[in-house]
Amino acid sequence: MTESRVCPACVTGFIHEGTPKGTVETVSKLPTYVAKPAHRKRGIVIIIPDVFGWDFVNSRLLADEYAEKSGLVVYLPDFMFGMPTAIH
């Protein structure tokens, strides 16, 4: 395994079904997916994306679920600057 590649066995799984409900905003100069719950509590959650990146549907659906279940605003920033790890 090299720095820019991930072994296939490390990234097996499936894509969740659903449509993300959040919005994309710029937070501290980073594109960020923001999930806001219907009923807000004070506080936030920041999700650091995995090798699939911030725009992977599973990550966004997870952010939506965390927001609704916790009542907190959830931020999923693009810490990888639009370049998630290459998977080969």
Domain of 76 in residue numbering reads as 5-87
Total structural domains within the chain: 1
Residue whose token pair is 């952010």: 63
d(CA 82, CA 78): 7
List, for residues 7-58, the tens digit of each pLDDT value.
Answer: 777 777 788 999 999 999 999 999 999 999 999 999 999 999 988 889 999 9
In contact, 40 and 57? CB cutoff 8 Å: no
Q: What is the pTM of this model?
A: 0.82
Partners of 69 in beta bridges: none
Contact at 8 Å (CB) between 72 and 44?
yes
The encoded tokens of residue 25 equal 């905003």
Position of tokens 């810490």?
Answer: 79
